[in-house]
Structures are given as structure tokens and as C-alpha cells.
A and B are shown apart, each in its own frame.
Chain A
Amino acid sequence: MKSEIIAKDVYLNFPIYDAQSLSIRNKIRDIGSKVVSRSKEDISGARVIEGLKNINLNLNHGDKLAILGPNGSGKTTLLKLIAGIYFPTSGEVSSRGELSCMLDIGFGFELDATGYENIILSNIIRGHTKNEIDKLLPDIAEFSGLGEFLDMPLRTYSSGMQARLAFSSAIASTPGILLIDEFFSTGDIEFSEKSKTKVLEMMDSSSILVFASHDMDLLQNICNKAILMKNGEIILSGAPKEVINFYKDTYHLR
């Protein structure tokens, strides 16, 4: 099946429900800094933050899209919109093809459950059956390199080991459309190299890749399209090289 992702005139507003006292603070902040305020009021008078503005995307089978932009520019929000976690306030998003998300990969973990059990739990939430997981389990276990710790409760893990487990359980799915938020700089040198290789493999076999990252070299090597985001808007889209150069120039990165 051919995969595709289409977003048309998408706006996404986040409602803020505890913000009445924030408005004065926001105004002071806005005066103090030159940041353009992204919060305003919606029809019902509740405060909203404009998460995404006027997003248009058209990705076809084989496309690998790089998302660039400073922190808080809407990269993750855009990924979550494509994933179907967020829904547009106006406009349309549609996608065709099996989605696999590597956004917040550590979800579904229980501190009292063992490593093995946590792999099963998080993958059941991802929609796999117990039988499928049982077949994948030896590979996942080997990849994690956690050995006999997999029989011990997650409580006993260091944060690096937890990151290993989270990454290893997330790679069980075979990607069609692959959405990745930058994360694999976790773990020790050996594991981060290993996971990088694995992710590159997955990216290669994916039908569409959407990849938010700050690793310019990596983005330029992998992707054939790129967008630059700022304040929830796509301010530039084009070939990766061109967009990366513009980004570096704008933010004086060289």
C-alpha cells in the first residue's frame, strides 16, 4: 500500500485552563522580552496558545522529511498531530499507511514490573498481541543488553538502563510511516551508537519518515525534504541543504 500524509490549512490551538492569573504575567513577560505572544483568547473567552498555524504538508511514499526549528517552535506538536494524538482546531490531516511513533517512548512502564513485563506492557498498549510480543521478546532482550536485569523490577534500574529498555521496547514495531522525535542520544556510548544504527535501519525501511532533530548532519544525510518551524509556523520548506543553511544563518550557528 502506498503511504501518504496530507495536512491542509491546519491550525491547532491549545486551550489553557488555569491561565487567568497568567495573563498579567504574560503581558509583563511580553514587555520584558521581544518574544511575540502566541497566546490569545478563543470565542468562549478561554485563553489558548497557538500551537500550529497554517500548516500545509504533502508527503508521498518514500519521502523523508526533516523538521528543524528552535525549542518550542512546534516540532513535537506537529509530529503528534500527524500521529493522531492531537487533532486540528481547523483544517484537515489525513494519513494512509501503518503509523509507528517514537515520540515519548517511555510510556506504559510500571516501576514494580520486571524488564520483561514492561516490554510486554508497553507493546500491548501499542496494539501487539501477547503472541507477537513473545516472538519478538528474545530480540528485544538481546538488543537491550540488560541481561539478567530484565528479570528484576524497573525500580532497580538506573536512568540509563531505563532509557535502554524504553528504546528497545519501542523498536518492536515494523515501521510504515515512522515518526521520530529526537531522543536517541541516551544511554552510554556503546548503546547510543547501537541505537543510532538501529534507527537508521528503521528509517531506511520506512515508507515515509518524519524526523525532528537538531543533528544537522544526520538530517542532511537521511532526508530529501525539510521544513523550518518558528512559533508554530512553517517559515521555510525545501531541500534539506538549503533549509539547514538558512537555519544556521538565522541563528548564527556558524
Chain B
Amino acid sequence: MNFFKNNLAVKDFIFSIKNYYSWSYLSYFDLKLKYRRTFLGPWWVVLGIAISATAMCFLWSTIFSLDWKSYLTYLFSGFIIWMWISQQIIDAPEVFSDAAQYIKAYPNNPLFYVFRHCFSSFLIFLHHIPLIILISIFVNHKIDLIVLFSLPLGLLIVFINSILFSSNIGMLAARYRDIGPLIKSLMPPMLLLTPVLWKPEMLGAYSSYVYINPFTYFVGILRNDLIGLDFDIYIWIGALVITIFQLLFFLILYSKKNKRIVFWV
């Protein structure tokens, strides 16, 4: 128990959560500022996604010879969730470097800036969820009530993972500058390798291979209940196991090296 009490990573994490007011205000403000001089504001992103996902829907439903109506919700939800997750991965290497001017000027725990960044992306994702629900209603999809429970839980798990991943990779990438470009070049092929555009069963005999891919779990826990797919307990277990590994890695790396961040950024 003492390990946890005195661990710097635990301390900073709890401190950041208690200090939620500051980073959530800054996250909200970051968004406000980003869309300040636009007329549609954050709805531009929604519109952008709607346009590209609609185009992709007609293309892929023809290629896969699927009913476009049922494919529409699958593609929209997958695409929107993927946008959030992949953006988090791509931004992670720069999460500390972007906050360099603050880290070097004011004593604050560096996790604060990770929370600020991740919460901003989370807020963007939140205003995309109505789009998924609208599409579901449009194609007469029935939504199971379990979503009221599983969606908040899924959001929480993915949010925590985004914090842990950003902190872990942010630290490594601040020290070793090759990690950022490497991750950026891996993400486009990951979109094709993750069941976002296609369904696992389309792989036939190979369908169990999708479980090698960690993104399958995070897309799964957010999407499956939202669009009325069968509840799959393995996806939730997988997501939890990954969370635990990330957490362990975070506890070790952050508590050992957090004082070096200021020299790396």
C-alpha cells in the first residue's frame, strides 16, 4: 500500500483529478478559441465527417454488396470513434512538447497538460455522438437501453486510456524524437486493419485475428451497444487488460522520469 501512497505518479494523477476545474475550463476554452471566427464552429467537424462518411458508405456498401441502410450506422459510428482514438494517438507524442512554454515557466504537475489536451478531444467527440444517434433514428435502428450504462463506461475507459497513452508516449517521444514520426506513419494503415469500415465476420475463417489489434477493443466497447450489435464480454475484458498494462507502464515510467520532462521538451 505504501508504494501507492508515496508513488509520484499516483500523487500527480490524483492531484490532477482533484484539480479538474482548471483543465476542463482550459479544454473548453481551447475549443472555443479554435472555432472563434467560424460561423458553424465545431459543427464544421461534424459536417466534414458526415460528408466523407456518406460518400464512403455508398462506395463500400456497393463493394461489399451490403444493405446501405444497416451499413450506414456501422460506418458512421466506427468512423467517428476512430477519429477520436486515432487523433489521440497521433497527438500523444507532442502532448508535453506542446506545453513546453508552460512546463518551463511555471511549477505545475505535467500531467495537468495531458488532461487538458485529452479532455479537449473528448469534448469534440461528445458533440459527434448525437450524429450517430440521428443516423440510427434515420434508418429506424432500435437502440438497446443497455447503452445508457455501457456508453458512459466505455467513454470513461477510452478517456483514461487516452490519458495514460498520451502521458507514456508523450514522455518517450519527448526524449526520443523518432517515436512521433513513427506513430504518425503507423496510423493510416491501422484504419484499414481495424474493423471500422468492415465487419470482423467478413474475414471468414480469419475473423478471430481482429483480436490481435488493440484498437478492436476500444472501437468495440464504444460502438457495439450504440448501434445494437450483440454484447461481447471479451471486448470489454480485452479493453480492461490493455488499461491495466498501460497503467502499470505509466506508474513505472512517470514516477521514475517525470522530473526529467522539463529537460526533454
Contact = CB atoms under 8 A, between A and B. Distances in A.
Interface residues of A, number: 27
Interface string A36-49: 00000000000000
Interface of B: 19, 21-22, 25-26, 29, 33, 36-37, 101-108, 175, 259-260, 262-264
A104 interface: yes
A125 interface: yes
B176 to A, nearest CB: 9
Contacts of A86: 262
Interface of B is mostly: helix
B132 to A, nearest CB: 31
B33 A110 contact: yes
Nearest to B112: A125
Given A107-B105, A113-B33, A124-B26, 20 more contacts: A14-B263, A17-B264, A84-B107, A85-B106, A85-B262, A86-B262, A87-B259, A87-B262, A99-B107, A104-B104, A104-B105, A105-B105, A107-B102, A107-B106, A112-B37, A121-B29, A125-B102, A127-B108, A129-B21, A130-B25
Nearest to B29: A121
7 contacts: A17-B264, A84-B107, A85-B104, A110-B33, A112-B37, A124-B22, A126-B106
Which 10 residue pairs across A and B have the least CB separation, nearest first?
Answer: A104-B105, A84-B107, A107-B105, A87-B259, A85-B107, A83-B107, A124-B22, A107-B101, A112-B33, A15-B263
Contacts of A121: 26, 29
A122 B22 CA distance: 11
Given A85-B107, A99-B107, A112 B29 contact: no
Interface string A106-124: 0110101100010001001
Contacts of B107: 83-85, 99, 101
Contacts of B36: 112
Interface string A122-158: 0011110110000000000000000000000000000
Contacts of A103: 105-106
A227 B112 CA distance: 35
B65 to A, nearest CB: 48
B22 A127 contact: yes
A131 B234 CA distance: 46
